[in-house]
Structure 1
């Protein structure tokens, strides 16, 4: 039997864990995680289910688990984090673990959620398969991650600046997945009734340094495995600031930064779920249906 192919190493996961630990120790707020936690609770409020066993899978801060504890007072909540210092304290069980090697048995949870974590794993298809297996039949998976439009302004400014100053660009901003690809991954992972949607958030900054400061506070600076290991030259940074201000500023001089929040949802398969009709089983042909519409 041939071995399963390994996922390519896109991210330096050890570096991500160190940066998340540093961000957690600093006590700085993470407005993206806080926003995702609020949106998650709002989305769950319209799902008429009694979730008894719930997993927060790898969210970088405890905001999500705390929001779940408040919204689902009768639920047993487990929070998994790859960083002990980021687990937090609250009405949930804390587990240290890796999103790519989830330590849970099959059919362990009624609900699995993850906010702003899975876009930074090397094996996203594998992580989705594990999440689906850990769900009970007809259990719900609900996830928020950063999509393809995230930090496009910064990516462009750094690429232009480095190409002009150094004659070539190195990877500086992660290659986030687009909506169509993520929907396909849900299906491949075995989820039923997959749904994807996006909610872009545009944040305005006084200057590029403030944007870099927020990214550091989130533990979200460049962790690409193929990143340039040296410091960014001052000439590149200065040129990037000029490009950013010229192309991506508002009339008042504030710089725009886009965070593309993509939401994924899917259900563990169950016989009670709606299923598409089998080919040829329709009572009316497409031609007849179109004529009836006319």
Structure 2
């Protein structure tokens, strides 16, 4: 399968990476998915609403679906995945490509996407598909890796390639800024959009252990514009040396940043709170935020 010139990700390779991870005998590196599943379920738990029909959109092993069901807030969860291998016994399961949502308009009350939207070429289109699938006053929750993710790895791989070859090719995928995610929610027509970010620092013995985890997450480089030439052992030895020089702690272990943007938005409904007209507020923003102002 060839990628179009506009494609950022080679979707065939994305699928290959995800399936290879699922079928690997190596221990899973699913700690980020567990964090996202727990965070999304906690956010759902405080919503004073029941959701009779929910969809987990490309959630890998179904950890998010399990966590959502445990809240007692939803009735049925349909898991949407790219391959039957991702299904577990008893799942309500539908197969669809990563960039397609096989749901009828206004057919679900809740859509949840845990750590998969960052691999779509048409992310705005996915937001629109999710918005259309929600019933009025339906809720969209998602976790999306943010722009600071793997900033250390991006830095050292770029520096290593410039140093050894005089050029550079993309080796770490681009991640969205929180402002871009908020803009996508608004553009897709979601009401009451909310975004916030959590940053997690994970420590490793070296760059090699980090890269092993990335492969175990299915995050080997899927960029359409990636170099097809294997970099070789000398490249990674130099990259590991730079990583240790720039991003190690006193005990010698190195740091890796993972940033997750959590977002929510509602399908519009007449019962929802409407924004005030400009100039009609009765409380100053500084008072509402309990902050000081200086003249």
TM-score (norm 1): 0.91
Q: Show the counterpart of 1:25.
A: 23
SS of 1:177's equivalent? coil
RMSD of aligned alpha carbons: 2.1
Q: Show the counterpart of 2:67.
A: 67
Q: Distance in 1 between matches of 2:48 and 2:157?
A: 46
Aligned length: 282
Q: Show the counterpart of 1:100.
A: 99
Cα 1:51/1:285, change in 2 over 3 Å:
closer
Q: Is the CA contact 1:140–1:268 (under 8 Å) kept in the aligned structure 2?
A: yes
Q: Show the counterpart of 1:14.
A: 12
SS of 1:52's equivalent? strand
TM-score (norm 2): 0.90
Q: Distance in 2 between matches of 1:203 and 1:167?
A: 31
Structure 1 position 61, deviation (Å): 2.1
Question: Structure 2: where are the runs of 5+ without partners?
Answer: 288-292
Structure 1 position 132, deviation (Å): 0.7
The list of structure 1 runs, each at least 4 consecutive aligned residues, that deviate by more than 4 angstroms after superposition, is: 283-286
Structure 2 counterparts to residues 210-225 of structure 1, below 5 A: 210-225=209-224
Q: Is the CA contact 1:250–1:256 (under 8 Å) kept in the aligned structure 2?
A: yes
SS of 1:104's equivalent? coil
Q: Is the CA contact 1:97–1:103 (under 8 Å) kept in the aligned structure 2?
A: yes
Structure 2 counterparts to residues 160-171 of structure 1, below 5 A: 160-171=159-170
Q: Distance in 2 between matches of 1:78 and 1:198?
A: 27
Deviates further, 232-241 or 106-115: 232-241
Q: Is the CA contact 1:100–1:127 (under 8 Å) kept in the aligned structure 2?
A: yes
Structure 1 position 74, deviation (Å): 5.2
Q: Distance in 2 between matches of 1:138 and 1:244?
A: 47
Q: Is the CA contact 2:44–2:73 (under 8 Å) kept in the aligned structure 1?
A: no
Q: Distance in 1 between matches of 2:283 and 2:128?
A: 37
Q: Is the CA contact 1:148–1:175 (under 8 Å) kept in the aligned structure 2?
A: yes
Question: Structure 1: where are the runs of 5+ without partners?
Answer: 1-5
Deviates further, 12-21 or 24-33: 24-33
Q: Distance in 2 between matches of 1:112 and 1:241?
A: 40
Structure 2 counterparts to residues 1-294 of structure 1, below 5 A: 8-26=6-24, 28-29=27-28, 30-72=30-72, 75-90=75-90, 92-279=91-278, 282=280
Structure 1 position 237, deviation (Å): 1.1
Q: Is the CA contact 2:49–2:73 (under 8 Å) kept in the aligned structure 1?
A: no
